[in-house]
Every structure is written in C-alpha cells, then in structure tokens.
Amino acid sequence: MAAGALSAPDPVSPPWSLQHQLTALGAALPAGTRLLAVSKGHPAATVRQLAALGQRSFAESRLQEAIAKQAELADLAALDWHFIGRLQANKVRAVLRQFGTIHSVDSLELAERLARIAAEEGLAPAVFLQVKLRVDPSKTGLSAEDLRQLWPRLLGLAPLRIVGLMTLAPQGLSGIESQALFGECAALARELGLAELSMGMSGDWREAAAAGSTWVRIGSGLFGPKPCQS
Ligand SMILES: *Cc1c(COP(=O)(O)O)cnc(C)c1O
C-alpha cells in the first residue's frame, strides 16, 4: 500500500479528498491495472476535478445521466467514457454515440445489435463480454459454456472489437472466494485470447488486481459517498 500517500495529513481536513483517494489508489494498483472512475451519481464538476488531477477514464451506467454530464464536460476532449450499465436494446445507438467502450454485453443478440448499429454509425467500439461464473439471480452474463459455444459467432461481429471479459462478484463472497472467481474469469479470457479484464469494484479490487484485472471499476472508494441517491 501507499504508506506515504496515505499518511500525509490534509491541511484542511475535508471530509473526503479526491486527490488523496486517487493518489492512494494509483500507488496501490499494480502496473497492469488501470483505474476506471465510476462517476454515476456524481456531478460533472466532480469529474472535472478528477480530470484536472489526471484521471482520464470514467464510467457511467445510466444513459440520460451520462448524456447530461458529457455535455457539461464537452470541452475536455481527452476523456475516455465507458458504459457499464445494463444496456437496453432501444438505447444501443445512443450508447454507441456516447461511449467508446462498453463493458456490459451479456448476450449474442445484444452483440449482434451493437455490431449492426456500430456499422451504420461508422464506429468500432471496444467491447467487454459480461460473464457470470456463479449462480446469482441479481446479475446477468454469459456462462462459460455459452461463451465458448457462441465464441465463433461473436468473433465474426465486426466492427465490434471484443477486447476482454467483465464480471461482477456476487455479494457476500470472502476475499478468497472472490479471488478464485476472478482467477477463473482470467483463465477464461486467456483461453479465448482476450487481453483485457474488467473486474473489481470498491470492495474487491485488491482481489481482482491480484488475479490480473486490467480495469478496476471504482465508484465509492474514489468519490466517497454519493451526493444524490441513484
Ligand atoms: C456502480 C458500479 C461499480 C462501482 O461500484 P463501487 O462499489 O461504488 O465501487 C462498478 N461496476 C459496476 C457495473 C457498477 O454498476
């Protein structure tokens, strides 16, 4: 851990310091693991503050909220936006226009629709296929068997660029259990020749990073408690 970054007392002692959290996370993440700042529920002004501190990649899970925020931040051309929410069929075109990377592609039908509309829009989005490797009624995702079976068809879906796998751990796993789950997801990505892994959130990013995650998606652990309920 970043002892130096964590021990420096803040002269004004605000309740939450974005700079402190960003520095501490940056120091704690291994070299191959990047930080995706999950800004859902936080205002554009907060994203702007983080951008000024050097953070480029941000994730949103609700389209309407993202559109408004991105409009406010249109002057920051270098921001890299990722969509991590459940993607409804009727939102595909708008999501493609707003986001360069989509982490939540959980069915062949959705992937086919994305490919068709991306082609119409002249876009080549980066895509993570969402997998579900444990029984969990609250989440969606392809099983490992479904993914292996669909793989040849998914590979043919130009102009999508399938870059990796995304997974969410069920609530209540121990650290050992979540690390085992993330390890399985990493093995599956290797088997398919995929380089990227979107695994780990505020509560389990250490286990995910240890298992080789290339993107940890962190909201509350970076931004602190949400100003507005979402
Ligand atoms: C909200 C969200 C996160 C971030 O969650 P925190 O626990 O606040 O870090 C990560 N991934 C997905 C898919 C989310 O919806």
Q: What CATH number does the domain containing 155 carry?
A: 3.20.20.10
Contact residues for 140 (Cβ-Cβ < 8 A; gap 6+):
86, 104, 106, 107, 130, 132
Query: What pLDDT was estimated at residue 3?
Result: 42
State pTM to two decimals: 0.92
- Does 6 fall in a domain? no
Residue 210 belongs to domain spanning:
18-223
Region 174-178 average pLDDT? 97
Ligand 1 within 6 A of 84 CB? yes
Atom from ligand 1 closest to the CA of residue 221: 9
The answer to whether residue 120 sits within a structural domain is yes
How many folded domains does the chain comprise? 1
**Residue 221 near ligand 1, beta carbon < 6 Å:** yes
Report whether pLDDT(150) > 90.
Answer: yes
Please give the number of the atom of ligand 1 that sits closest to the Cα of 38: 4
218 CB within 6 A, ligand 1:
yes
Answer whether 37 contacts ligand 1 (Cβ < 6 A): no
The answer to the question of residue 101 being in a domain is yes
The answer to the question of residue 192 being in a domain is yes
Which whole-number Å values give the CA distances from 204 to 35, 87, 154, in the listed order?
13, 24, 29
CA pair distance 135, 137, nearest whole angstrom: 7
Asked if residue 2 is part of any domain, the answer here is: no
More confident residue, 33 or 4: 33
- Residue 134 inside a domain? The answer is yes
Say how many Å lie between the CA of residue 163 and the centre of ligand 1. Answer: 20
How far does the centroid of ligand 1 lie from the alpha carbon of residue 120, in Å? 31
Instruction: Classify residue 230: in a domain, yes or no.
Output: no
Establish whether residue 213 lines the binding site of ligand 1, counting it when its CB lies within 6 angstroms of any ligand atom: no
Q: If you take atom 12 of ligand 1, which residue's CA is the nearest one?
A: 84
**Does ligand 1 come within 6 angstroms of the Cβ of 140?**
no
Asked if residue 164 belongs to a domain, the reply is yes
With bands split at pLDDT 50, 70 and 90, how would you rate the model's confidence at 15?
A: low
Q: Which pLDDT does position 14 carry in this prediction? A: 55
Q: What letters, b where the CB count within 10 A reaches 16 and e where it falls short, cover 133-149?
A: bbeeeebbbbebeebee
Q: Tens digit of pLDDT for each residue in 69-109?
A: 999 999 998 899 999 999 999 999 999 999 999 999 999 99
